[in-house]
Amino acid sequence: MACHFFEFPLLAPIENLCYTAITIKTEGAMANFTKQAIKASFLKLLNQQPLNKISVRDIVEDCGINRNSFYYHFHDIPSLLGEIITDQTEQLIRAYPSISSLDECFHVAFRFALENKRAVMHIYHSVNRDMFTQSTLRLCDYVVAAYVATAFPDDPMDESDRQIVIRFMKCQLFGMCIDWIDRGMTDDAYDDLHRMLQLIQGVPELIIRRSQETNG
């Protein structure tokens, strides 16, 4: 009986596979490094000058890359801005899985603006303001919901009332943030916000108690 031998495709040497994997991983790391460098340069420039004065050329010269590298990662400057704002919002949400006080709500919602005052002013007074305000509103919604869940975990409360409380407090926090920016983000305006927080201490508890009483 004749023997039949099956030919199997030759496998690439293991060292070649390792080299390919390392190359892919390295290229991915370099691409991510370049993308982060673009973001850092843009944010640096945004803290120095208005948004409409920043060009792609300014960004690539600042971080030492060519224009093709910029357009490989971003369609244009607004898409770059949008990704930075989204990144900052997501980072804050991940960093604060629970929030136990109104002061902490305030701190989280205002953190990016406090660390990048001039950049935020330049965004706010640009045609891309909506990117910032929508992201800030989303962040305010998150921090208030996290605060209510953390500070009042055992308080029985009608779910529709709970959502009303969250919307009310979200609007208050968002309004405080926008008012501060409208007033030039001055220290005096910031102090006024802290004073306002002191004055409204106990309001969430009062609303929750009233919800329980009227639904009891």
Point out the domain boundary residue: 74, 90, 116. Answer: 74
> Is position 91 within any domain?
yes
* pLDDT averaged per 10 residues in sequence order, the chain, 216 residues: 43 49 54 88 94 95 92 95 93 88 86 90 95 93 90 77 88 91 88 84 81 76
Do 116 and 161 have their domain in common? yes
Q: What pLDDT shows up at residue 1? A: 45
Of 200, 94, 101, the C-alpha closest to 139 is: 94
Point out the domain boundary residue: 6, 41, 74. Answer: 74
Q: What pLDDT shows up at residue 27? A: 54
Q: What is the CATH number of the domain that holds 33?
A: 1.10.10.60
Q: What is the reported pTM?
A: 0.79
Of 91, 110, 105, the C-alpha closest to 145 is: 105
Enclosing domain of residue 34: 16-74
